[in-house]
Structure 1
Amino acid sequence: MPFSDRSEAGRQLAKALARYKTDKPVVLALPRGGVPVAAEIASALDAPLDLVLVRKIGTPYQPELAAGAVVDGATPTVVRNESIIRLAGISEADFAAIRDRELAEIERRRKLYLGDRPRSQMKDRTVIVVDDGVATGATTRAALRAIRARKPRRLILAVPVAPTSTLAELKGEADDIVCLEDHEDFGAIGLFYADFTQVADATVTALLAQHPVKRDPSATTQA
C-alpha cells in the first residue's frame, strides 16, 4: 500500500508542495479525513490550518453514491451530479431534503470544530485544499468552487490518491493539482492505506489547536 496512514501521506504531500512555502499559503482541510493529512502540510509549510466544511449529498438508498455536494457559506455552494440524480430517480424534494440534512451536519461540525476560532482570509492568498483522497470528485469540486468564489490568488488541490479520470475532470477547478498516486482502476480510497481508521472529532479539534489562525481585527469573517 502506498501510505501507512493519513499522517504519512501528508508528509509525502508536503514534500511535493514545498515550492509553495514562500507564498505563505493557507491550508484548508476537508474534515474529517483530510485533517491529519493537512496538518502535516501546514507544519511543513509553516501555514495556518483551517477547514472547508463540505458534505456529500448521497442518494437515498446508496448514501456513498454522490448525487452532489454542498459547502458551507453565507450562500451555500451546491454542486449537482445530474447523471446520478437521473439514474437514481431522485426528485427535487428528495434532493433538497438530503441537502438540508447535510447543511445541518455542517453547522454541527462548525460549532464543534471551530467555535469562535478566527477564520483564514483567502482573498489574494495561495490556498491549498487538502483531503485524504478523491473518489467521484463531487465533494472536492464543490469545495474548490466555494473557495474560488473567495478570490484566492492561486488555488491548489493536494491529495495523496485519486482516480485518473476524476483528476482529469477536476483539472479546470484548480490552478494546480498535486496528487501522489492516480490509478485508472481505483476502487476505494481506503484501499491505498494500511490504516484508514475513521478520524475522531477529538482528533480534528486537537490538530486545529496545534495550528492556530491569527485573528485579523480588520478582516471580515469567512465561513
Structure 2
Amino acid sequence: MHRRFADRADAGRALADQLKHYAQRDDVVVLGLPRGGVPVAYEVACALGAPLDVLVVRKLGVPWQCELAMGAIASGDALYVDEELMRETGVSQPEFDRVLADEKAQLARREALFCDPRRASVDVTGRVAIIVDDGLATGASMKVAARALRARAPAKIVAALPVAPHDAAGRIGDDVDEYVCVTAPELFFSVSQFYSDFSETTDDDVRAILARASSASGPASSG
C-alpha cells in the first residue's frame, strides 16, 4: 500500500524525514517549484534548518492536452523539450513555438511576482541544492529546474519528491546527483491521487510562505 498524504504540508514533513542527513548543515538550500512545490519545500526547509527560495518553472503543455508536458522552461533561459512526445502527439513546430512564447511570458510574470526586493535570493554556489515539488508525472519540470540550477554552480543537486512513478529516477537521469522520493507506485495516474487535499496553491500562498520563511531568523518548524 503506497503512502497517501493528507495535504502538501504532510507530504513535506514525510519528505523531510527522508532528507534528515542534510539537517542543520550550513551548505544546504531548499528550492521549491511554484506553485504546489513551495508548501512542501517550506516544511522541508523548516525541518532541515535550511534557507528556502523558489525556482520558477513553466510546463510546456501539449496544446490540446495542457497537463501533458512536451517540455518545460525555467529561470535563466533553461529549456527542456521531449522530442519523442512531440512526435507521438503530432505537435508541429509552430504550435510548439506558440506555447513556448506564452509560457515565457508567464514565467516572467511569476518571476516578477515572487521576487521581493526586500528578500535576497538564496546563493546556491558550492552548496547542496534540494529541489522540491509536490510530485512528479512526466519529469519535465524537474529536469529543466535541475538544468537551470546547474548553471548556478551548486556542489550537488538533489531532486526531492513526495510521490513519483516507480521509473521516475530513470527519467530524471543524470540531470541530478541524488534522487529522493517517499513513495513510488507502479500504478500512477496523477499526482493528485496520492493526496486527500490537493487544492490549488495560489500566487498569494507562495508569496506568504516565502515571506514567512524569510522573516524568521532561521527556519523554524511550522508544526
TM-score (norm 1): 0.91
Q: What's 1:99 paired with?
A: 100
Q: Find out whether 1:122 has 2:114 as its counterpart.
A: no
Deviation at 1:213?
Answer: 8.7
Query: Which is worse superposed, 82-91 or 180-189?
Result: 82-91
Q: Find out whether 1:41 has 2:44 as its counterpart.
A: yes
Q: Give the AA of the match of 1:163.
A: P
Q: What is the rounded CA distance, in whole Å, between the counterparts of 1:41 and 1:175 in structure 2? A: 18
Deviation at 1:171?
Answer: 3.5
Q: What's 1:221 paired with?
A: none
- Residue deviations 1:76-127 (CA, integer Å, cap 9, x gap): 1110111111122222222122111111111111121223232111110110
Deviation at 1:23?
Answer: 3.2
Q: What's 1:17 paired with?
A: 19
Paired residues of 2:24 and 2:49 also in contact (CA < 8 A)? no
Deviation at 1:22?
Answer: 4.0
Structure 2 CA distance for partners of 1:100 and 1:17, relative to 1, 3 Å: same
Paired residues of 1:120 and 1:213 also in contact (CA < 8 A)? no
Q: Find out whether 1:69 has 2:86 as its counterpart.
A: no
Matches for 1:138-157 after TM superposition, within 5 Å: 138-157=140-159
Paired residues of 2:62 and 2:69 also in contact (CA < 8 A)? yes
Q: What is the rounded CA distance, in whole Å, between the counterparts of 2:136 and 2:171 in structure 1? A: 12
Q: What's 2:221 paired with?
A: none
Q: What is the rounded CA distance, in whole Å, between the counterparts of 2:133 and 2:20 in structure 1? A: 17
Paired residues of 1:135 and 1:163 also in contact (CA < 8 A)? yes
Aligned length: 212
Paired residues of 2:25 and 2:50 also in contact (CA < 8 A)? no
Q: What is the rounded CA distance, in whole Å, between the counterparts of 1:190 and 1:167 in structure 2? A: 19
- Tell me the SS of whatever aligns to 1:211: helix
Structure 2 CA distance for partners of 1:213 and 1:126, relative to 1, 3 Å: farther
- Tell me the SS of whatever aligns to 1:2: coil
Q: Give the AA of the match of 1:159.
A: L
Structure 2 unaligned blocks of 5 or more? 217-223
2:135 to 127, 133, 136: 133
Q: What's 1:211 paired with?
A: 213
Q: What is the rounded CA distance, in whole Å, between the counterparts of 2:170 and 2:92 in structure 1? A: 29
Q: Give the AA of the match of 1:99.
A: L
Q: What is the rounded CA distance, in whole Å, between the counterparts of 2:191 and 2:121 in structure 1? A: 29
- Tell me the SS of whatever aligns to 2:172: helix
- Tell me the SS of whatever aligns to 1:194: coil
Structure 2 CA distance for partners of 1:193 and 1:150, relative to 1, 3 Å: same
TM-score (norm 2): 0.91
Q: Give the AA of the match of 1:13.
A: L
Q: Give the AA of the match of 1:135.
A: A
Paired residues of 1:56 and 1:138 also in contact (CA < 8 A)? yes
Paired residues of 1:28 and 1:51 also in contact (CA < 8 A)? yes
Q: Give the AA of the match of 2:70.
A: A
- Tell me the SS of whatever aligns to 1:163: coil
Paired residues of 1:119 and 1:213 also in contact (CA < 8 A)? no
- Tell me the SS of whatever aligns to 1:202: helix
Q: What is the rounded CA distance, in whole Å, between the counterparts of 2:95 and 2:70 in structure 1? A: 11
